[in-house]
Amino acid sequence: MAIIKQYHKDTDTTYVYESISYWDEEKKQSRSKRRVIGKLDPVTGEIVPTGKRGRKSKNAGPEGDSAELARLYEESQARIRELSLETARKDAEISSLRKEIQDLKEAAARADRCLAQCRDILAGHMPRS
């Protein structure tokens, strides 16, 4: 991705584009897609957004936007707390299950040793035919 500046003589305006290059398999050539970001302010050198991304919403005023953002923020914070508690519970459960697995592995190893000892005992006392 690259940022391209292009001057338009007829309007005396410099537009700023986002350019993404890709390979065209059909033509076997490199191609690029451009999307306008905005106009370049000649005085400050800053990019002034144009198009839908740069327009203000008609329905929501600044008060409505900030109230909505505050509500969304609070909901997000509550959800984060909820998920953090759930994560802590899951971590504790995982830890408990890992301990149980370790205990079972140790019990299985003891059982294998006992079985091997029993086989050795039986092999030593078996009559040979």
Per-residue pLDDT tens over the stretch 55-80: 555 554 555 578 888 889 999 999 99
DSSP 8-state assignment for residue 45? -
What confidence score (pLDDT) does residue 58 get? 58
What confidence score (pLDDT) does residue 127 get? 64
What confidence score (pLDDT) does residue 94 get? 96
| Spans of the chain below 70 pLDDT | 53-64, 126-129
**What predicted TM-score, i.e. pTM, was given to this entire model?**
0.40
What confidence score (pLDDT) does residue 118 get? 92
CB 39 within 8 A of CB 50: yes
Rounded to whole angstroms, the Cα distance separating 65 from 56 reads 11
